Structure 1
Amino acid sequence: MFSAADAEEGRDQTADDLMPRTPGVVVRASDITWRGASNPPGVGMLGSMHLPEPRGPLSAALFSDLVGRPTLSSTTTATAEQVAAQVAGAMTDDDLQISLAVCYELHYRGFDDVPDHWEWEPALLGLRGVLERRHLAALRELVGPLPVTDEPIDRQLAALIAADDGPSLSAYMAKQGTLEQWREYLTVRSVYHLKEGDPHTFAVPRLSGRAKAAMVEIQADEYGGGTPERMHSELFAGLMRDLDLDAGYGALWDDAPAAAFASVNTMSLFALHRRWRGAAVGHLTAVEMTSSEPSRRYSAGLRRLGFDERTTVFYDEHVEADAVHEQIAAVDMCGSLVAEQPELAADVLFGAAAALAMDGVTAHHLLGAWEAGRSGLRGERPLAA
């Protein structure tokens, strides 16, 4: 996901302006899309997924229950209520966000050390609800009021994105990002991109008709059109390995800050609740409408550091795919949904605004840390010169 500031800045620049060229070498889109990730592992290998390190009293109590008890202790439930009541900056609170992320992860791949029955454990769902309400309240505060007009929903979405003034991470990474900053950025984004389309895909059964078909069309590309090596999560994993990062699913969770989990938790909240199906659709649409031009810049930033199309394929793929997906998402998916259920227009806009706002949280976190000369990851390790 890329911010509207990323997309807006890209309108004044072409790929030729941004991408250094190697004399005598012509890279065609058709050369890029079929190759898959460089340095590939065994595609489809599930690997291990263990509980992350606790980040406070709530996650410590919760994780202890998940591995050692059949249900939640009263202490854990009380701690969740205390954390939800007291946290002011919910989006950047490590204890709250990692706890919510672990609750959601039970609906994805789960954890090797947590029994499967926990996925639908009533007490855990109750605790998750407490955290969700705090997260949602913080998200509403972050987004602010969103007036709904009589304009077609695709135009309202375009206006919302155009009005976003969040910082542009892609512009920074294209022109200034160091190799170490790239590793930090990829660590943060790995929390989402190694899942790729999964959070949004949960919303497919909640839709019908043209809106459902449009979402499936978009998601099919996310999953490589049936080719495992071309799944976007696999392309991102190859990018990580090329930059000497552990690309195992969940392997870098302990390094990622709260903002990384808050972003994915927002997607999971929308897609796992039928009540928020409109927001899930709006969120996905904002992703598709704001990623093509920033992807050019991210690719350019990697090329500036000496990487070639074998490494940049993840971003190169999004330059083409999301330019097509933009209209499918805004007109076919959102337009059809709102035409059938006009009462969901406000939720569609809320989901899109939430996507932009969460990108802003991540950008402020990373750019603020780098400007201060420190790491944007947990532990505040100093950056390499």
Structure 2
Amino acid sequence: MASMPTVTDVALAAGVSRQTVSNVMNSPGIVRADTRERVEAAIAQLGYRPHASARRLRTRRSSTIGIRLDPMIDGISGSVLDRFLHALTEQADKQGLRVLLFTATSPEDEIIQLQRLNDGADVDGFVLTSTFAGDPRTKWLIENKIAFVTFGRPWGADDVSNPQHLWVDVDGWAGLYEATRAVQNAGARRIGYIGWPSSADTGDDRRRGWHDAMHERGDVTEAGLIALEAVTVDGVAEGTAAMQDLRRRAGPLDAVLCASDSLALGAMIANPERVPVTGYDNTPVAAAIGLSSVDQSVGEVAAAVLDLLTGEFGGQVHGAPESLQPRYQMIRPRLVTRAFAAIPMEMLV
């Protein structure tokens, strides 16, 4: 009996990547029309059934994916995970899968919830978010041979060539590098950066994008870059205070980049010189106030997560088939540029 065509077969026939095929099936709006038509023609020619990619997950126990509902960090940047959950749920439904949400107060409590749901046969696999170096959740799942994929890399020394588990992440370095290049190409030289403490792996990744772009251009010395950086925890008020501190220490600025839209909104408030500000996450707030921001393409992230969880790897590190396909997907974000308008502080008093 001939084997059923796979996503890889479709990708080869259409001359595209597996991720592009997944995007056509789950988020067709983000794929160019000519590419989408080529993939759809290959699907029709091969007789590929999109639902067949979820067969391994569906035939286990429940056709259900478990994911923790993270606590709301704030009303701005926290919306990114909400958008990811919506995209994941919608795309899972197209594959005949359900998403079960649960809560946990800590990584250790989440492990208890993972064990409870797995022992009760409530889910077939998990999607984890908010990963960090030394994450005990992924260690427990791997040791217990439970299917899972993370939105967020392992943050180890060798994530790409020897991943500890199946993961999808957004290239924060590329996002801030592109954002820095964009304002440099517009004539900016003294570009400030407001970011998080170095204990945040995601924040470190974004900061490197700004730093590398600034270092390559050479408009500011390495010592001068120190004065152009402000570090704070996330939040609008914190962004305002960091912008005030940055203006005092750094002097005249041509532009400011921020690790989140929350910090960027705060920076816009303390900005009488109307210095262009760019955020990160492309939240609805950014769109509403005309803030340029880096978009994480959560629809692509959700498609890639499901591809790893339901495709040939089946979300497994142990017992997965040998394959030349990578066990990770790094999604490149895109810069959304908008006409800048500062928010006068006196309007908020």
TM-score > 0.5 by shorter chain: no
TM-score by length of 1: 0.25
TM-score by length of 2: 0.27
Q: RCO greater where, 1 or 2, for CA within 8 Å and sep 6 or more?
A: 1
